[in-house]
Amino acid sequence: MIKWQIRYNNMKEFDLNIPLSLSGITLGQYQDYLKVLDKWDKEDETYLNIKILQIFCGLSPEFATSIPLHAFESTIAQVTGLFESETPLERKFKMTGLNSVGDENTVEFGFIPKLDDISFGEYIDLESYLGDWQQMHKAMAVLFRPVYHSKREYYLIDKYEGSDKYSQVMKDMPLSVALGATVFFYRLGIKLQKYTLDFLEEDILKGEMNNPLYKGTSEENGDGFKAYIRLHREMLEGLMKLQKPLFTSA
């Protein structure tokens, strides 16, 4: 994080905190940014840039017009450039906050260690939240929970007790972690769909080879479904090409 001190009207000074990576941006800040983008009319670029400084750099509205032009432009370029960064899956991260008695406390959160063991409740909650960025803090509360035992690369996390328990906390998690987990599940979903299509296509081929009656009724039993598979395979190929901009570009 870069901190600039800028003098205002020769009297006051204010700080401009500039993130150097996506880990310096929180999920909550990114959600606020997406809200602004959703309402932006695409014409007033100055408005969007000022909002970027307010959301990601902690700039107060009263100081927006007092920033030197070179600082304004370089800061916008620095922040927007971060959204082109690669976001690999980060399985653990730490956050520091105040506990119930006001003492500072650092907690390590861990990604679900073994996805094969995900519960039905976790899966249902995750599926309902992942498609909506304004619900993404709830999805992250499903995927990440406090680590209570760790030894080298192995660790155990708390039992899932619903997304509400940690969802508000997750708004303060690093955006790099949230994007990494989201892209990971997006790619995993594409792969699972591809494997399913491969299996179905292979199953149809086996049916045609082993059942002489199958060929006579191919219009009924196979050709329509083959067209369906081809269509969805083309859609998946398109999605795989678009997957990075969907999550890291705005």
80 and 7 together in one domain: yes
Same domain for 68 and 103, yes or no, is: no
Same domain for 99 and 162, yes or no, is yes
Question: What's the mean pLDDT in 178-198?
Answer: 68
The edge-to-edge listing of strands for the beta sheet with 154-157 is 92-98, 104-111, 144-151, 154-157
Sign of CA dihedral 6, 40, 127, 191: negative
Alpha-carbon span 102 to 221, nearest angstrom: 67
- Give the whole-angstrom CA distance, residue 86 versus residue 243: 12
Stretch 156-178: mean pLDDT = 95
Range of the domain at 117: 92-173
pLDDT higher than 50, residue 191 = no
Residues 56 and 33 in one domain: yes
Question: Of the candidates 67, 84, 101, which is a domain's last residue?
Answer: 84
Alpha-carbon distance of 81 to 75, in angstroms, equals: 10
- The percent of residues above 90 in pLDDT, for the chain, comes to 40
Determine, yes or no, domain membership for 178.
no
Does pLDDT of 119 surpass 80?
yes
In a domain, 167, yes or no: yes
Q: Are residues 17 and 76 in the same domain?
A: yes
Examine the pLDDT at 176 and tell me if it is beyond 50. Answer: yes
164 and 143 inside one domain: yes
- Find residue 15's DSSP bridge partners: 5
Q: Nearest-CA neighbor of 64 among 78, 79, 46?
A: 46
Q: Of the candidates 147, 173, 199, which is a domain's last residue?
A: 173
In a domain, 181, yes or no: no
- How high does pLDDT run on average in the chain? 77
- The total of structural domains in the chain comes to 3
Residues 169 and 216 in one domain: no
112 and 136 fall within a common domain: yes
Q: Which of 84, 105, 120 is the last residue of a domain?
A: 84
pTM of the model: 0.73
Same domain, 97 and 80: no
| Domain membership flag for residue 99 | yes
- Are 24 and 93 in contact, with CB atoms under 8 Å apart? no
